[in-house]
Chains A and B, each alone.
Chain A
Amino acid sequence: MSERTTPARRLTAVVAVVGVVALGAAACGGTTKNSSSKDSSSAPTAASTASADPGAPLKKGLTIAYLPKAVNNPYFTTSDTGGRKAVEAAGSTYKEVGTSSSTDTAGQVSYVNTLTQQRVDAIAVSAQDPGALCTALNQARKNGVKVVTYDSDTNAGCRDVFISQASSEDLGRTEVQLMAEQIGNKGRIAILSAAQTATNQNTWIGFMKDELKKPQYKDIQLVKVAYGNDDAQTSFQQTQGLLQQYPDLKGIISPTTVGIKAAAQYLSGSKYKGKVQLTGLGTPNDMRAYVADGTVRSFELWDPAKLGALAAHTAIALVSGRITGAPGQTYTAGDMGTFTIGQDSTVVLGKPTVFDKSTIGQFNF
Chain B
Amino acid sequence: MTMTAKPAPAPAPSGAAPGGGLLDRVLKVRELAIAVVLVLMLLATQLDNSAFLSEQGIKDLLLNATILVLVGVGQATVVITRNVDLSVGSTLGVTAFAAGEFLRGGGNPLLAVLIAVALGAGFGVVNGLLVSLGQVPALVVTLGTLYIIRGLDSIWFGSRQITAADLPAGFVSFGRDGLGALPYLAVLTAVVLAAAAYYLRNYRSGRDMYALGSSPEAARLAGVPVRRRILAAYVLCGALAGLAGALYLARFGNVDSGTGSGYELTVVSAVVVGGVAFTGGSGSLYGAALGALLLTSINSVLPSIGVSSVWVQAIDGTLLLLAIAVDRVVALRVAAVLRKRAAQTRSAHHD
Question: A355 on the interface (CB 8 Å rule)?
Answer: no
A-facing residues in B42-78 (Cβ within 8 Å):
49, 51-52, 54, 56-57, 60, 64, 67
Known: A236-B64, A244-B57, A269-B176. A72 touches B306 (CB 8 A): no
**Chain A residue with the shortest CB-CB distance to B150:** A100
Residues of B within 8 A of A72 (CB): 154, 157-159, 256-258
- Expressed in whole angstroms, the Cα–Cα distance for A289 and B51 within the complex equals 28
Main secondary structure on A side of the interface with B: helix
Residues 258-277 of B, flagged 1 when their CB comes within 8 A of A and 0 if not, give: 10010000000000000000
Residues 292-322 of B, flagged 1 when their CB comes within 8 A of A and 0 if not, give: 0000100110111110111010000000000
**Chain A residue with the shortest CB-CB distance to B159:** A77
Question: B36 on the interface (CB 8 Å rule)?
Answer: no
CB–CB B176/A227 < 8 A: no
CB–CB B177/A269 < 8 A: yes
Q: Closest approach, in angstroms, between the C-beta of A207 and any C-beta of chain B?
A: 22
Question: A233 on the interface (CB 8 Å rule)?
Answer: yes
- Expressed in whole angstroms, the Cα–Cα distance for A74 and B173 within the complex equals 25
CB–CB A245/B303 < 8 A: yes
- Expressed in whole angstroms, the Cα–Cα distance for A290 and B164 within the complex equals 8
Known: A245-B303, A269-B173. A74 touches B161 (CB 8 A): yes
CB–CB A226/B303 < 8 A: yes
Question: B165 on the interface (CB 8 Å rule)?
Answer: yes
CB–CB A241/B165 < 8 A: no
Question: B175 on the interface (CB 8 Å rule)?
Answer: yes
CB–CB B309/A227 < 8 A: yes
CB–CB B51/A247 < 8 A: yes
Known: A71-B159, A72-B158, A233-B64. A238 touches B164 (CB 8 A): no
Residues of A within 8 A of B252 (CB): 232-233, 236, 262, 265
**Chain B residue with the shortest CB-CB distance to A272:** B56
- Expressed in whole angstroms, the Cα–Cα distance for A271 and B300 within the complex equals 17
Question: A94 on the interface (CB 8 Å rule)?
Answer: no
Known: A233-B64, A234-B299, A244-B57. A74 touches B51 (CB 8 A): no
B-facing residues in A36-63 (Cβ within 8 Å):
none
**Chain A residue with the shortest CB-CB distance to B177:** A269
Known: A286-B163, A288-B165. A244 touches B304 (CB 8 A): yes
Q: List, sorted by A's number, 17 A–B pairs whose CB atoms are closer than 8 Å.
A: A72-B158, A73-B256, A77-B159, A100-B257, A196-B308, A227-B310, A237-B64, A237-B300, A240-B57, A240-B60, A244-B51, A244-B54, A244-B304, A245-B51, A245-B304, A247-B51, A290-B164
Binding site for B on A (CB under 8 A): 71-74, 76-77, 100-101, 196, 224, 226-229, 232-234, 236-238, 240-245, 247, 261-262, 265, 268-271, 285-286, 288-290, 292
Binding site for A on B (CB under 8 A): 49, 51-52, 54, 56-57, 60, 64, 67, 154, 157-161, 163-165, 167, 172-173, 175-177, 251-254, 256-258, 261, 296, 299-300, 302-306, 308-310, 312
